[in-house]
Amino acid sequence: MGLSPKMRFRLHRLQNRWEAWKAGLRRTEQAVTAEQKMCPSCRALVERGKANCPYCGQRLQVFAASPVGRLARRATPTIPVTGWLILANMVMLLLEYKLSGTSPLSNLTAGPSPGATLRLGESLPLGFVVATHQYWRWVTACFLHGGLLHIGFNMWALYDIGPLVESFYGGAKYLTLYLVTGICGYIVSGFFGYTSLGASGAILGLLGAMLAYGIRRSHTTAGRQLRNVASRWAIYVLVFSFLPGVDIFAHIGGFCSGFVLAMLMGDDPPLTEGQVRTWNLVAGVMIALLAISFYLMAVAPLPLA
């Protein structure tokens, strides 16, 4: 069944607004990178033009502003965490459809069955989660989606926002932001009795972290631009959250926790050797949390409710 003309019009209008936002993010990113560049070894932000990193001594390669230089920058794998997160979300969606016994290609608007999303760990009301000790649902729900349109919009947002936030905070802090804010979003959502799933709470957490970065750097032109872009789109997304079927509490919980966590952890990647070790340990804990959560989901008995 195809989309109605009214729905196609709404999607087209949303796409135009999203493209305008992407253009704003690109201009902000260009303003930031015009002032600084990132050391590939310790990920510290260094003044553009420096030949060596003043923190770790790493030789900094300078690409020419030419097609070959731009191609070399694109070929450099600088955003691994975002790529892995997108891959994990896509794999889980395929597993949802596999358990549902349906194919997304047969009906683009049809989603996985409620039984499949329940089995794979969607977030449930807080009372049920606490009573059954299924706290792992707050993690697994961040990687589940209700269909192709749902995951399409979320992964589109993650693909655009994720690399920018990851370049600001570094991979370890970025992974921590994604998981912790996603968990906080579902705790708030469950407190209000919602059954929910999706990566949008964690993505709103990244948007909150981006706003925190812009506020902390508001003494610079790039920081003010980033703050203004993040503020406008935080308001837009939160207003959009009032639409029927959207879990506004997961969005609010994710956004607020992302802002607070980013303000507490600071707005730079780990710089010193001690900071690098600490955040590598934190990232290891986050990966262990992911592994344990999905293991507990896999061995959970049926029926779950």
DSSP labels for 219-264?
A: TSHHHHHHHHHHHHHHHHHHHHTTSTT--HHHHHHHHHHHHHHHHH
Residue 64 lies in a domain: no
Residue 32 lies in a domain: no
> What is the rounded average pLDDT of the residues 181-198?
94
| pTM of the predicted model over 0.85 | no
Question: What is the pLDDT at residue 64?
Answer: 39
**% of the chain at pLDDT higher than 90:** 38
**What pLDDT digit, counting tens, does each position of 264-277 carry?**
987 667 767 778 88
DSSP H or E stretch at residue 15: helix 5-35
Q: Is residue 303's pLDDT more than 60?
A: no
Give the residue numbers spanning the domain of 106: 79-299
Virtual torsion, Cα 98, 104, 107, 112, nearest 10 deg: 50
Structure tokens at 196: 């929910």
Low-confidence winner among 20-24, 160-164, 214-218, 278-282 (lowest mean pLDDT):
20-24
Residue 286 lies in a domain: yes
**What pLDDT digit, counting tens, does each position of 49-106 carry?**
566 677 666 555 443 344 434 443 443 444 479 999 999 999 999 999 989 887 776 6
**What pLDDT digit, counting tens, does each position of 13-62 carry?**
766 676 766 666 666 555 555 556 566 556 566 665 566 677 666 555 44
What do you get for the CA distance between the two ends of the chain, in Å? 32
Structure tokens at 260: 């607070």
Residue 230 lies in a domain: yes
Residue 55 lies in a domain: no
Q: Is residue 197's pLDDT more than 90?
A: yes
CATH of the domain at 149: 1.20.1540.10
Residue 9 lies in a domain: no
Q: Is residue 221's pLDDT more than 60?
A: yes
Number of folded domains in the chain? 1
CA neighbor of 214 nearest in space, from 28, 18, 49: 28
Judge contact between 107 and 120, C-beta under 8 A. Answer: no
**What pLDDT digit, counting tens, does each position of 149-184 carry?**
889 989 998 988 888 888 888 889 999 999 999 999
Residues forming the active site? 200, 251
Residue 63 lies in a domain: no
Q: Report the mean per-residue pLDDT for the chain.
A: 79
Residue 74 lies in a domain: no
Question: What is the pLDDT at residue 80?
Answer: 74
> What is the rounded average pLDDT of the residues 108-124?
86
Residues 139 and 193: their CA atoms lie apart, in Å, by: 17
Question: What is the pLDDT at residue 72?
Answer: 37
